[in-house]
Amino acid sequence: MNVFQCPNCSNTVYFENTSCENCDSTLGYSIDDDDFRVPEDNDLKFCKNYIYNNCNWLIDINDENDFCTACQLNRVIPNKRDFDDFNKCEQLEFAKHRLIYQLYKLKLPLVAKNLNNKGIAFDFLSENNKENKLTGHANGVVTIILSEADAVHRAQLKKEMNEPYRTLLGHFRHEIGHYYWMLFFEKEHLQSFRKLFGDERKDYGKSLEAHYKNGPQKDWNLNFISNYASSHPWEDWAETWAHYLHIIDTLETASSLGISFANSKTILSKDCVSNFDDPYKIKDFRKIFNASITLTSAANSLNRAMGLPDIYPFVIPEPVYYKLEFIHNLLFNNSWNLK
C-alpha cells in the first residue's frame, strides 16, 4: 500500500492513523484522493465508525450516508456493550480497510448487499452467537469469527493446521476471493479456470472432509500455494487469489517507499519492474513476479539478520505461477457490470 505523509508537516502517517504524531493535526484517509486529509480544510467528515475507533476514512461533508465505502459493507457487528468482542472489532476493521483499499485499486465491484443482492456483506460474529457458523464465505456474505482477532488463538491454529502464514488480512483476502470467483465465472472463463485449478464441480463438502481426515494431497507443494489449496479447486482459487493480493500490496508498499532493485544481486532483477512502478498498472505479470521474488528474498534476509523466521515462507512452483498470472490477466482485462 502507499506510504502516506501528513498534509500539514509531511511526517509519515500510517494507514490507520487518526492524527499526525509530529504536528498533532487530526487526519483521515480519503479513498477518492488516495491520501490523508485534514477533514475540516477539505469539506470532509469522518465515517460514523470513527467514534468507535474503528475507522479513519473521510467522506464528503454533505454525504447522506454516514458510513465510508468500507464500513457500508458491514452487516453484523458485535454489540457495543460487549466490550471484549467490540475491541476485537478494531483489529478486524484494520484488516478489512486494507482489503477494501486494495479491491478499490483493482477496480473490483464493492456494492453493499442491502443495495444489491449480488453485493457484499461482512458479518463479524462472536463465538457465543455464531450458531455453528465458521469463518467463511457464502453468496457475498463474508463471516469472520471474532476469535480470529485473538493472536494467541491464531498462532495455535497456525500450528494445528500446519500453516506457515495465517493473518487476519490473509483471511479477508481469501474469503473475498470466493466472492469474486462467483462474479468472474458466472458466465464465462470457466473452461480456462478448470484447466488450471481443476473441476470445481467435485463434491466440496466431501473434499474438505477428506482433506481434514487424510491431510493434504501428496506432493501438494509442486502444484499449490498452500496445503489447504489442494483440498478443492475453490480453495485453490481463494488461496492463490489471496497470495496475488499479498504480492501486489507488498510491491506497492516497496514502490511507495522508493525501494529499487536495480543493484540487487539476484539475476531476476534484470527483468523486474523498471524503477519500481505502481504494480497496479503493470500488464506483464512476469515483471511483477520477478520483482516480488527479489523483494521477498530481501525481506527474508532482513528477518534472518534479526534472528526471525522468514517473513515470506513460500516457494512458488511453476503451476502456481500460471495460476497467479491467470488471476492477474483476469483482473487486468475485466470490466464489471453488477446486474
Residue type, 314: F
- Copy the grid coordinates of residue 332: 487486468
Report the residue number, 176 or 295, with the smaller CB distance to Zn ion.
Answer: 176
Q: For residue 15, give the C-alpha cell.
A: 494507514
- Binding-site member from 47, 145, 229, 247 for Zn ion (CB under 5 A): 47
Q: How far apart are the first and last CA of the chain?
A: 30
Q: Which 222-251 positions form the footprint of Zn ion (CB under 5 A)?
A: 235, 238
CA distances from 308 to 214, 243, 292, 303 (A): 32, 22, 20, 5
Q: Which stretch binds Zn ion (CB under 5 A): 48-56, 215-223, 251-259, 306-314?
A: 48-56
Q: Does 22 bind Zn ion (CB under 5 A)?
A: yes
Return the residue of 31, 44, 55, 89 that touches Zn ion, per CB under 5 A: 55
Answer whether 143's CB lies under 8 Å from 125's CB: yes
At 177, is the secondary structure helix, strand, or coil? helix
Per CB under 5 A, the list member of 1, 3, 5, 11 interacting with Zn ion is: 11
Give the whole-angstrom CA distance, residue 13 versus residue 36.
8
CB of 133 to Zn ion, least distance (A): 14
Task: Tell me which amino acid residue 180 is.
Answer: Y
Residue 197 contacts Zn ion per CB under 5 A: no
Q: Is the Cβ of residue 59 or residue 288 nearer to Zn ion in the bound state?
A: 59
The partner residues of 145 in beta bridges, in order of sequence, read: 125
Considering only 12, 14, 23, 43, the residue that binds Zn ion (CB under 5 A) is 23
Name the amino acid, one letter, at 137.
H
> Is residue 57 involved in binding Zn ion (CB under 5 A)?
yes
Mark the segment that binds Zn ion (CB under 5 A) among 54-62, 78-86, 297-305, 308-316.
54-62
Nearer to Zn ion, 122 or 276 (CB): 122
Per CB under 5 A, does 65 bind Zn ion?
no
Q: What does the DSSP assignment read for 18-83?
A: SB-TTT--B-EEETTTTEEE-GGGGTEEE-GGGGGTS--BEEETT-S--S-TTGGGEEE---TT-H
Among 31, 58, 59, 71, binds Zn ion (CB under 5 A): 71
Question: Contact region for Zn ion (CB under 5 A) — 4-12, 143-151, 208-216, 320-328?
Answer: 4-12
Using CB under 5 A, pick the residue from 49, 74, 143, 250 that binds Zn ion.
49
What residue ranges bind Zn ion (CB under 5 A)?
Answer: 6, 8-9, 11, 20, 22-23, 47, 49, 55, 57, 68, 71, 235, 238
